[in-house]
Amino acid sequence: MGYARKVGWVTAGLVIGAGACYCIYRLTRGRKQNKEKMAEGGSGDVDDVGDCPGARYNDWSDDDDDNSENKGIVWYPPWARIGTEAGTRARARARARATRARRAVQKRASPNSDDTILSPQELQKVLCLVEMSEKPYILEAALIALGNNAAYAFNRDIIRDLGGLPIVAKILNTRDPIVKEKALIVLNNLSVNAENQRRLKIYMNQVCDDTITSRLNSSVQLAGLRLLTNMTVTNEYQHMLANSISDFFRLFSAGNEETKFQVLKLLLNLAENPAMTRELLRAQVPSSLGSLFNKKENKEVILKLLVIFENINDNFKWEENESAQNQFSEGSLFFFLKEFQVCADTILGIESHHDFLVKVKVGKFMAKLAEHMFPKSQE
Protein backbone atom coordinates (compact mmCIF):
# COMPACT_ATOMS: atom_id res chain seq x y z
CA MET A 1 0.00 0.00 0.00
CA GLY A 2 2.87 2.40 0.81
CA TYR A 3 4.46 1.84 -2.59
CA ALA A 4 1.14 2.36 -4.44
CA ARG A 5 0.44 5.59 -2.54
CA LYS A 6 3.95 6.90 -3.35
CA VAL A 7 3.50 6.11 -7.05
CA GLY A 8 0.11 7.90 -6.99
CA TRP A 9 1.59 11.05 -5.49
CA VAL A 10 4.45 11.07 -8.03
CA THR A 11 1.98 10.65 -10.90
CA ALA A 12 -0.23 13.49 -9.64
CA GLY A 13 2.83 15.72 -9.29
CA LEU A 14 3.91 15.00 -12.86
CA VAL A 15 0.41 15.78 -14.19
CA ILE A 16 0.22 19.15 -12.41
CA GLY A 17 3.81 20.01 -13.36
CA ALA A 18 3.19 19.20 -17.01
CA GLY A 19 0.00 21.25 -16.98
CA ALA A 20 1.81 24.23 -15.46
CA CYS A 21 4.58 24.06 -18.05
CA TYR A 22 2.01 23.92 -20.85
CA CYS A 23 0.11 26.85 -19.34
CA ILE A 24 3.21 29.04 -19.11
CA TYR A 25 4.37 28.01 -22.59
CA ARG A 26 0.94 28.76 -24.03
CA LEU A 27 0.92 32.18 -22.39
CA THR A 28 4.28 33.16 -23.85
CA ARG A 29 3.88 32.10 -27.49
CA GLY A 30 2.88 35.56 -28.75
CA ARG A 31 5.37 37.59 -30.77
CA LYS A 32 3.72 41.00 -31.11
CA GLN A 33 4.60 43.69 -28.59
CA ASN A 34 1.75 44.95 -26.44
CA LYS A 35 0.65 48.33 -27.85
CA GLU A 36 -2.41 48.88 -25.70
CA LYS A 37 -3.02 48.42 -22.01
CA MET A 38 -6.41 48.08 -20.46
CA ALA A 39 -7.25 51.45 -19.01
CA GLU A 40 -7.44 51.51 -15.24
CA GLY A 41 -10.68 53.02 -14.10
CA GLY A 42 -12.43 52.67 -17.46
CA SER A 43 -14.30 50.04 -19.34
CA GLY A 44 -12.09 49.81 -22.44
CA ASP A 45 -13.00 48.71 -25.93
CA VAL A 46 -13.80 45.13 -24.96
CA ASP A 47 -15.96 46.02 -21.98
CA ASP A 48 -19.57 44.89 -22.29
CA VAL A 49 -21.05 47.91 -20.55
CA GLY A 50 -24.46 46.87 -21.79
CA ASP A 51 -24.49 44.20 -19.12
CA CYS A 52 -24.53 46.90 -16.44
CA PRO A 53 -27.11 49.55 -17.35
CA GLY A 54 -26.62 52.96 -15.79
CA ALA A 55 -22.87 52.42 -15.52
CA ARG A 56 -20.97 54.85 -13.34
CA TYR A 57 -17.44 54.05 -12.30
CA ASN A 58 -16.28 50.80 -13.84
CA ASP A 59 -12.87 49.79 -12.62
CA TRP A 60 -11.49 46.93 -14.63
CA SER A 61 -7.93 45.95 -14.33
CA ASP A 62 -5.00 44.72 -16.30
CA ASP A 63 -2.14 42.94 -14.73
CA ASP A 64 0.78 45.11 -15.72
CA ASP A 65 2.07 44.92 -12.20
CA ASP A 66 5.67 45.31 -11.83
CA ASN A 67 4.63 47.25 -8.74
CA SER A 68 2.99 44.30 -6.99
CA GLU A 69 4.09 43.96 -3.41
CA ASN A 70 6.11 41.11 -1.94
CA LYS A 71 7.47 39.84 -5.24
CA GLY A 72 10.00 37.82 -3.28
CA ILE A 73 7.49 35.29 -1.92
CA VAL A 74 8.53 31.88 -3.22
CA TRP A 75 7.22 28.41 -2.48
CA TYR A 76 9.98 26.19 -1.04
CA PRO A 77 9.81 22.39 -0.97
CA PRO A 78 9.62 20.76 2.48
CA TRP A 79 13.14 19.36 2.23
CA ALA A 80 14.72 22.78 1.62
CA ARG A 81 15.84 23.18 5.23
CA ILE A 82 17.54 26.40 6.17
CA GLY A 83 21.14 25.98 7.22
CA THR A 84 21.91 22.82 5.25
CA GLU A 85 23.84 22.66 2.01
CA ALA A 86 21.13 20.61 0.26
CA GLY A 87 18.48 22.99 1.55
CA THR A 88 20.37 26.00 0.22
CA ARG A 89 20.57 24.44 -3.25
CA ALA A 90 16.89 23.47 -3.17
CA ARG A 91 15.85 26.97 -2.15
CA ALA A 92 17.99 28.49 -4.90
CA ARG A 93 16.36 26.22 -7.49
CA ALA A 94 12.89 27.18 -6.19
CA ARG A 95 13.71 30.89 -6.44
CA ALA A 96 15.06 30.45 -9.97
CA ARG A 97 11.99 28.48 -11.04
CA ALA A 98 9.66 31.17 -9.67
CA THR A 99 11.67 33.92 -11.36
CA ARG A 100 11.54 32.13 -14.72
CA ALA A 101 7.77 31.68 -14.41
CA ARG A 102 7.24 35.37 -13.61
CA ARG A 103 9.48 36.54 -16.45
CA ALA A 104 7.72 34.24 -18.89
CA VAL A 105 4.38 35.70 -17.88
CA GLN A 106 5.66 39.28 -18.06
CA LYS A 107 6.80 38.70 -21.64
CA ARG A 108 3.41 37.41 -22.69
CA ALA A 109 1.92 38.61 -25.97
CA SER A 110 -0.56 41.44 -26.39
CA PRO A 111 -4.13 40.80 -25.20
CA ASN A 112 -5.11 41.63 -28.79
CA SER A 113 -3.08 38.72 -30.09
CA ASP A 114 -4.80 35.42 -30.86
CA ASP A 115 -1.95 33.63 -29.07
CA THR A 116 -3.18 34.74 -25.66
CA ILE A 117 -6.91 34.11 -26.22
CA LEU A 118 -7.44 30.63 -24.83
CA SER A 119 -10.07 28.22 -26.09
CA PRO A 120 -12.71 26.86 -23.69
CA GLN A 121 -10.72 23.64 -23.39
CA GLU A 122 -7.57 25.56 -22.51
CA LEU A 123 -9.47 27.74 -20.03
CA GLN A 124 -10.73 24.59 -18.36
CA LYS A 125 -7.14 23.34 -17.99
CA VAL A 126 -6.10 26.64 -16.46
CA LEU A 127 -9.02 26.47 -14.01
CA CYS A 128 -7.92 22.95 -13.07
CA LEU A 129 -4.47 24.33 -12.30
CA VAL A 130 -5.99 27.00 -10.08
CA GLU A 131 -8.13 24.42 -8.31
CA MET A 132 -5.45 21.76 -7.82
CA SER A 133 -2.13 23.54 -7.44
CA GLU A 134 -0.85 24.95 -4.17
CA LYS A 135 2.34 26.46 -5.58
CA PRO A 136 2.13 30.27 -5.67
CA TYR A 137 4.13 30.73 -8.88
CA ILE A 138 1.82 28.30 -10.74
CA LEU A 139 -1.29 29.96 -9.30
CA GLU A 140 0.06 33.38 -10.26
CA ALA A 141 0.67 32.35 -13.88
CA ALA A 142 -2.73 30.66 -14.17
CA LEU A 143 -4.59 33.62 -12.65
CA ILE A 144 -2.83 36.05 -14.98
CA ALA A 145 -4.03 33.92 -17.91
CA LEU A 146 -7.59 34.01 -16.58
CA GLY A 147 -7.41 37.75 -15.94
CA ASN A 148 -6.28 38.45 -19.50
CA ASN A 149 -9.01 36.29 -20.97
CA ALA A 150 -11.68 37.69 -18.64
CA ALA A 151 -11.04 41.07 -20.28
CA TYR A 152 -13.12 39.83 -23.23
CA ALA A 153 -16.91 39.77 -22.97
CA PHE A 154 -17.40 36.33 -24.53
CA ASN A 155 -14.84 34.75 -22.18
CA ARG A 156 -16.65 36.03 -19.09
CA ASP A 157 -19.59 33.79 -19.91
CA ILE A 158 -17.33 30.84 -20.76
CA ILE A 159 -15.37 31.08 -17.51
CA ARG A 160 -18.64 31.29 -15.55
CA ASP A 161 -20.12 28.29 -17.36
CA LEU A 162 -16.95 26.30 -16.61
CA GLY A 163 -17.52 26.92 -12.89
CA GLY A 164 -14.67 29.39 -12.67
CA LEU A 165 -16.26 31.92 -10.30
CA PRO A 166 -16.17 29.80 -7.11
CA ILE A 167 -12.80 28.33 -8.09
CA VAL A 168 -11.20 31.77 -8.29
CA ALA A 169 -13.12 33.11 -5.29
CA LYS A 170 -11.74 30.28 -3.16
CA ILE A 171 -8.25 31.67 -3.75
CA LEU A 172 -9.26 34.77 -1.74
CA ASN A 173 -8.62 32.69 1.38
CA THR A 174 -4.90 32.51 0.63
CA ARG A 175 -2.44 34.44 2.75
CA ASP A 176 -0.13 35.08 -0.21
CA PRO A 177 -0.71 38.75 -1.18
CA ILE A 178 0.47 38.30 -4.78
CA VAL A 179 -1.88 35.39 -5.45
CA LYS A 180 -4.78 37.14 -3.67
CA GLU A 181 -4.26 40.26 -5.76
CA LYS A 182 -4.31 38.23 -9.00
CA ALA A 183 -7.53 36.50 -7.90
CA LEU A 184 -9.15 39.88 -7.18
CA ILE A 185 -8.12 41.12 -10.63
CA VAL A 186 -9.74 38.08 -12.27
CA LEU A 187 -12.98 38.61 -10.31
CA ASN A 188 -12.84 42.31 -11.12
CA ASN A 189 -12.72 41.65 -14.87
CA LEU A 190 -15.41 38.98 -14.59
CA SER A 191 -17.68 41.33 -12.64
CA VAL A 192 -18.28 43.56 -15.69
CA ASN A 193 -21.21 41.26 -16.47
CA ALA A 194 -24.69 41.28 -14.94
CA GLU A 195 -25.00 37.52 -14.49
CA ASN A 196 -21.52 37.28 -13.00
CA GLN A 197 -22.38 40.05 -10.55
CA ARG A 198 -25.44 38.11 -9.38
CA ARG A 199 -23.21 35.16 -8.58
CA LEU A 200 -20.33 37.16 -7.13
CA LYS A 201 -22.47 39.08 -4.63
CA ILE A 202 -22.06 36.30 -2.06
CA TYR A 203 -18.35 37.15 -1.85
CA MET A 204 -18.82 40.90 -1.39
CA ASN A 205 -18.67 40.83 2.41
CA GLN A 206 -15.44 38.85 2.36
CA VAL A 207 -13.89 41.15 -0.26
CA CYS A 208 -15.01 44.18 1.73
CA ASP A 209 -13.48 42.86 4.99
CA ASP A 210 -10.23 41.90 3.24
CA THR A 211 -10.01 45.31 1.57
CA ILE A 212 -10.49 47.23 4.80
CA THR A 213 -8.08 45.10 6.84
CA SER A 214 -5.35 44.84 4.19
CA ARG A 215 -2.19 46.87 4.54
CA LEU A 216 -2.93 50.51 3.74
CA ASN A 217 -2.23 51.43 0.09
CA SER A 218 -1.27 47.84 -0.74
CA SER A 219 -1.94 46.24 -4.12
CA VAL A 220 -4.44 43.87 -2.50
CA GLN A 221 -6.38 46.80 -1.04
CA LEU A 222 -6.47 48.64 -4.37
CA ALA A 223 -7.58 45.50 -6.23
CA GLY A 224 -10.35 44.98 -3.67
CA LEU A 225 -11.53 48.59 -4.05
CA ARG A 226 -11.68 48.18 -7.84
CA LEU A 227 -13.79 45.04 -7.52
CA LEU A 228 -16.18 46.72 -5.06
CA THR A 229 -16.45 49.70 -7.41
CA ASN A 230 -17.52 47.42 -10.26
CA MET A 231 -20.02 45.68 -8.01
CA THR A 232 -21.63 49.04 -7.15
CA VAL A 233 -22.02 50.23 -10.74
CA THR A 234 -25.73 49.49 -10.38
CA ASN A 235 -27.87 50.08 -7.27
CA GLU A 236 -28.67 46.41 -6.79
CA TYR A 237 -25.89 45.42 -4.39
CA GLN A 238 -24.90 48.74 -2.85
CA HIS A 239 -26.82 48.08 0.37
CA MET A 240 -24.37 45.28 1.16
CA LEU A 241 -21.67 47.90 1.82
CA ALA A 242 -23.78 50.06 4.15
CA ASN A 243 -21.97 48.98 7.32
CA SER A 244 -18.54 49.63 5.80
CA ILE A 245 -18.98 53.23 4.61
CA SER A 246 -17.28 54.62 7.73
CA ASP A 247 -14.26 52.42 6.97
CA PHE A 248 -14.12 53.71 3.41
CA PHE A 249 -14.03 57.30 4.69
CA ARG A 250 -11.20 56.26 7.02
CA LEU A 251 -9.25 54.77 4.10
CA PHE A 252 -9.90 57.92 2.12
CA SER A 253 -8.48 60.16 4.86
CA ALA A 254 -5.45 57.96 5.60
CA GLY A 255 -4.57 56.64 2.16
CA ASN A 256 -2.22 57.93 -0.49
CA GLU A 257 -3.45 59.63 -3.64
CA GLU A 258 -4.14 56.40 -5.54
CA THR A 259 -6.14 54.97 -2.63
CA LYS A 260 -8.08 58.24 -2.31
CA PHE A 261 -9.11 58.10 -5.97
CA GLN A 262 -10.23 54.47 -5.73
CA VAL A 263 -12.32 55.17 -2.62
CA LEU A 264 -13.81 58.26 -4.28
CA LYS A 265 -14.97 56.21 -7.27
CA LEU A 266 -16.73 53.80 -4.90
CA LEU A 267 -18.31 56.59 -2.82
CA LEU A 268 -19.43 58.41 -5.97
CA ASN A 269 -21.35 55.33 -7.06
CA LEU A 270 -23.05 55.16 -3.65
CA ALA A 271 -23.78 58.90 -3.55
CA GLU A 272 -25.68 58.79 -6.85
CA ASN A 273 -28.20 56.37 -5.34
CA PRO A 274 -30.85 58.23 -3.26
CA ALA A 275 -31.52 55.01 -1.32
CA MET A 276 -27.96 55.16 0.09
CA THR A 277 -28.16 58.80 1.23
CA ARG A 278 -29.10 58.03 4.84
CA GLU A 279 -26.36 55.39 5.09
CA LEU A 280 -23.79 57.88 3.85
CA LEU A 281 -24.96 60.60 6.25
CA ARG A 282 -24.94 58.09 9.13
CA ALA A 283 -21.31 57.10 8.44
CA GLN A 284 -18.70 58.22 10.95
CA VAL A 285 -16.06 60.38 9.31
CA PRO A 286 -12.57 61.17 10.64
CA SER A 287 -12.07 64.61 12.11
CA SER A 288 -9.27 65.04 9.57
CA LEU A 289 -11.75 65.01 6.68
CA GLY A 290 -12.07 68.77 6.69
CA SER A 291 -8.31 69.21 6.54
CA LEU A 292 -8.30 67.69 3.06
CA PHE A 293 -9.57 71.00 1.74
CA ASN A 294 -6.24 72.71 1.44
CA LYS A 295 -3.84 73.90 -1.21
CA LYS A 296 -1.66 70.81 -0.98
CA GLU A 297 -4.43 68.36 -1.81
CA ASN A 298 -4.86 67.22 -5.41
CA LYS A 299 -7.43 69.34 -7.23
CA GLU A 300 -9.27 66.30 -8.62
CA VAL A 301 -9.62 64.82 -5.14
CA ILE A 302 -11.24 68.01 -3.84
CA LEU A 303 -13.59 68.29 -6.83
CA LYS A 304 -14.75 64.67 -6.64
CA LEU A 305 -15.30 64.92 -2.89
CA LEU A 306 -17.44 68.02 -3.45
CA VAL A 307 -19.48 66.14 -6.06
CA ILE A 308 -20.17 63.43 -3.47
CA PHE A 309 -21.30 66.04 -0.94
CA GLU A 310 -23.49 67.74 -3.54
CA ASN A 311 -25.20 64.48 -4.49
CA ILE A 312 -25.89 63.69 -0.85
CA ASN A 313 -27.16 67.21 -0.24
CA ASP A 314 -29.47 67.02 -3.29
CA ASN A 315 -30.82 63.57 -2.41
CA PHE A 316 -31.61 64.35 1.23
CA LYS A 317 -34.81 66.35 1.75
CA TRP A 318 -33.78 68.43 4.75
CA GLU A 319 -37.22 69.86 5.49
CA GLU A 320 -39.05 66.54 5.16
CA ASN A 321 -36.49 64.72 7.33
CA GLU A 322 -36.23 67.35 10.06
CA SER A 323 -37.87 65.06 12.62
CA ALA A 324 -35.49 62.22 11.77
CA GLN A 325 -32.32 64.26 12.09
CA ASN A 326 -31.77 63.14 15.68
CA GLN A 327 -31.03 59.64 14.33
CA PHE A 328 -27.57 60.79 13.30
CA SER A 329 -24.81 60.64 15.90
CA GLU A 330 -21.98 63.01 16.64
CA GLY A 331 -19.05 62.57 14.31
CA SER A 332 -21.24 61.46 11.41
CA LEU A 333 -21.11 62.95 7.94
CA PHE A 334 -24.50 64.51 8.69
CA PHE A 335 -23.00 66.61 11.48
CA PHE A 336 -20.00 67.43 9.32
CA LEU A 337 -22.44 69.07 6.88
CA LYS A 338 -24.90 70.26 9.52
CA GLU A 339 -22.42 72.30 11.50
CA PHE A 340 -22.36 74.91 8.82
CA GLN A 341 -20.03 77.42 10.45
CA VAL A 342 -17.33 74.85 11.19
CA CYS A 343 -17.72 73.40 7.71
CA ALA A 344 -17.66 76.87 6.17
CA ASP A 345 -14.54 77.93 8.05
CA THR A 346 -12.78 74.78 6.93
CA ILE A 347 -13.87 74.76 3.31
CA LEU A 348 -13.80 78.48 2.68
CA GLY A 349 -10.24 78.40 3.92
CA ILE A 350 -9.24 77.38 0.42
CA GLU A 351 -10.64 80.53 -1.17
CA SER A 352 -7.05 81.42 -1.79
CA HIS A 353 -6.53 78.15 -3.67
CA HIS A 354 -4.51 78.75 -6.81
CA ASP A 355 -7.02 76.87 -8.98
CA PHE A 356 -9.98 78.95 -10.15
CA LEU A 357 -12.22 75.91 -10.79
CA VAL A 358 -11.79 74.73 -7.20
CA LYS A 359 -12.78 78.16 -5.83
CA VAL A 360 -15.89 78.29 -8.05
CA LYS A 361 -16.94 74.74 -7.14
CA VAL A 362 -16.50 75.39 -3.42
CA GLY A 363 -18.55 78.59 -3.64
CA LYS A 364 -21.43 76.85 -5.42
CA PHE A 365 -21.40 73.98 -2.95
CA MET A 366 -21.51 76.26 0.08
CA ALA A 367 -24.36 78.31 -1.43
CA LYS A 368 -26.39 75.19 -2.14
CA LEU A 369 -25.70 73.78 1.31
CA ALA A 370 -26.82 77.02 2.95
CA GLU A 371 -30.00 77.10 0.86
CA HIS A 372 -31.00 73.57 1.88
CA MET A 373 -29.98 73.72 5.52
CA PHE A 374 -31.07 77.27 6.33
CA PRO A 375 -33.92 78.08 3.93
CA LYS A 376 -35.45 80.69 6.26
CA SER A 377 -32.22 82.66 6.48
CA GLN A 378 -32.31 83.12 2.74
CA GLU A 379 -35.67 84.87 2.76
Give pLDDT < 70 ranges for the chain: 1-87, 91, 98-115, 294-295, 318-325, 340-354, 372-379
pLDDT of 46-94, one tens digit each?
A: 344 433 434 455 554 443 333 333 344 444 455 455 556 666 777 677 7
The predicted structure's pLDDT at residue 76: 46
Under DSSP, the state recorded for 230 is H
Question: Residue 77 domain-assigned?
Answer: no
Burial of 319 (0-12, 13-18, 19+ CB in 10 A): exposed
CB of 286 within 8 A of CB of 331?
A: no
**Among the listed residues 106, 113, 144, 168, the one whose alpha carbon sits nearest the alpha carbon of residue 20:** 144
Question: Residue 251 domain-assigned?
Answer: yes
Distance CA 72, CA 180 (A): 15
**Among the listed residues 250, 204, 259, 212, the one whose alpha carbon sits nearest the alpha carbon of residue 230:** 204
Question: Residue 305 domain-assigned?
Answer: yes
Distances 25 to 91, 107, 110, 119, 126 between C-alpha atoms, Å = 23, 11, 15, 15, 12
Question: Residue 172 domain-assigned?
Answer: no
DSSP state letters, 283-350: SB--GGGGGGSSTTS-HHHHHHHHHHHHHHHHHS-TTTTGGGGGGSPTTBHHHHHH-HHHHHHHHGGG
Give me the phi and psi of 64, to 5 degrees please.
-90, 50
Question: Residue 84 domain-assigned?
Answer: no
The predicted structure's pLDDT at residue 203: 97
The predicted structure's pLDDT at residue 80: 52
SS3 assignment, position 152: coil
Question: Residue 334 domain-assigned?
Answer: yes
Look up the CATH number of the domain holding residue 317: 1.25.10
Q: DSSP strand E in the chain: where?
A: none
Distances 80 to 7, 73, 133 between C-alpha atoms, Å = 22, 15, 19
Question: Residue 225 domain-assigned?
Answer: no
Domain limits for position 360: 235-378
pLDDT of 211-262, one tens digit each?
A: 999 999 999 999 999 999 999 999 999 999 999 999 999 999 999 999 999 9
Number of domains in the chain: 1
The predicted structure's pLDDT at residue 339: 73
Question: Residue 344 domain-assigned?
Answer: yes
